[in-house]
A = this chain, B = another copy of it.
Amino acid sequence: MAGVVQRQLHLNAFLMEAGHHEAAWRLPQSNPRADFDLAHWIELAKLAEAAKFDSLFLADGPSLTGTGEFRPPGQLEPLTLLTALSQHTSRIGLIATVSSTYNEPYNLARRLASVDHVSGGRAGWNIVTSAGADEAANFGLVDRPNHALRYERAHEFLTVAKALWDSWETEAVLADKSTGRYADPTRLHAVDHVGGHFRVAGALNVERPPQGHPLLVQAGSSEDGRNFAARHAEAIFTAHQTYGRAAEFYRDVKVRARAAGRNPDSVVILPGIVPFIGSTEKEAADLARQFDDLRVPEYGLAQLAWNFETDPSVFSLDEPLPDFILARPELEGSQSRSDLIIELAVRENLTVREILSRLGGGRGHFTFVGTPDQAVDTIVSWFEGGAADGFNIMAPALPSGLETFIEHVLPILRSKGLFREDYQGVTLREHYGLPTPANQFHAIAD
């Protein structure tokens, strides 16, 4: 079909300490102090950029992660780290998780706009509502606000933030040296927001960011999460154990986006994949086993208990999940992740020990074990079969797992014309093929 441009995969490099596998820091080659070693992050960012990834991404939450006994419990504040990385890269998009529950819209809109400026239009914000009670306890609360309330706040947060990002019209600055007139105050807009969660006068004290506003990313999969994503998200990170579930989610979110009056193509859906790649199936399985053997079961049990908002003692390693968990109790935290674990356990009839092994690589994300060709087959089948617009690549060890993916999987995708040889644009929006949003104040003025 001459003239038809091949639809392209989008790839995000999801970076995490010495790797996504919970025991990655124990590998002989790993830097166990990677979290606070800027050189580690610069190396990863340059690696992903040289491979022409659309973006890199850092997860986050404002609390210590667990007790620290078996896994690094902290990390650099991600917008700070991305800002540093922006000065060592020039094209790759830079996405950070920041909580809408434990920040103020004026401060956060300003910081994100500033990162977009200093990176030349490469900032993205993964909006999370912060599911943990441990996070709430760092912000004066006895417990987290409930699920619905957190999303209600997130929606209002986005409404305010978008107005703040638009508050300087492009034509606002005159910089007329001869008259001394710097700006046209009628083009600097007070947002005058008064709502249930926020009252914000505005305007923002930062010029409109190069991308209009940073790319908005979201990863919630609950009912509230999907509706929020349909309304605001431009890219979605999502966790699915099977093609079927991923395809169902994909269809559902695109329908919701259309219902919210948006172009479904402007919502880029990226399921996570944890790739254990070997030149043979056996080599890949051996690699996965090497990681699995390094796990400390206590750590996994604590994580499982955290997911289900219960105590580790309720689980027996060689039994299935207890009945009260299988009954899907209502949770205030990460509901969809808990549902996914139950589904996996039931579908494959797993003991707790087996569940921990399956979650060790990517906390519920799809774990792939096989050869580069098999990885490509899977990627292509999800991509062409309506389950993904691209993937969130979660290397079990870093940098080695990312290097393997780049050296052995990417060339095959490129040979099929499915992934860029070089960047065509400069901004993160350009990489994802997303438009620059119109300025709401300018639209009114016209």
Chain B neighbourhood of A25, CB < 8 A: 175, 177, 182
CB-CB under 8 A for A62 and B205, given A118-B80, A175-B25: yes
CB-CB under 8 A for A185 and B32, given A137-B201, A175-B25: no
Contact between A65 and B205, CB atoms less than 8 A apart: yes
Contact between B200 and A73, CB atoms less than 8 A apart: no
Contact between A134 and B201, CB atoms less than 8 A apart: yes
* Whole-angstrom CA separation of A73 from B5 in the bound complex: 45
Contact between A139 and B106, CB atoms less than 8 A apart: yes
Give how many copies assemble into the complex: 2
Chain B neighbourhood of A74, CB < 8 A: 168, 204-207
Most B Cβ at <10 Å: residue of A114, A185, A202:
A114
- Whose C-beta in chain B lies nearest to the C-beta of A31? B175
Contact between A70 and B182, CB atoms less than 8 A apart: yes
Contact between A182 and B80, CB atoms less than 8 A apart: no
- Whose C-beta in chain B lies nearest to the C-beta of A106? B138
Partner of A69, one of B83, B182, B203: B182
Most B Cβ at <10 Å: residue of A38, A107, A139, A181:
A107
CB-CB under 8 A for A76 and B23, given A87-B84, A138-B200, A180-B70: no
Chain B neighbourhood of A102, CB < 8 A: 104, 106-107
Partner of A182, one of B28, B68, B181, B205: B68
Contact between B73 and A188, CB atoms less than 8 A apart: yes
Shortest CB distance A300–B (Å): 12
Render A59-72 as a binary contact track against B, CB cut-off 8 A, 1 for contact: 00111110111111
CB-CB under 8 A for A67 and B206, given A81-B114, A114-B81, A117-B36: no
Contact between B80 and A205, CB atoms less than 8 A apart: no
Contact between B180 and A23, CB atoms less than 8 A apart: yes
- Whose C-beta in chain B lies nearest to the C-beta of A210? B36
A79: interface (CB < 8 Å): yes
Render A157-177 as a binary contact track against B, CB cut-off 8 A, 1 for contact: 000000000001000110101
Chain B neighbourhood of A141, CB < 8 A: 199
Chain A interface residues toward B at CB < 8 A: 23, 25-28, 30, 32-33, 35-36, 38, 61-65, 67-77, 79-81, 83-84, 86-88, 102-104, 106-107, 110-111, 113-115, 117-118, 134, 137-141, 168, 172-173, 175, 177, 180-185, 188, 198-207, 294, 296
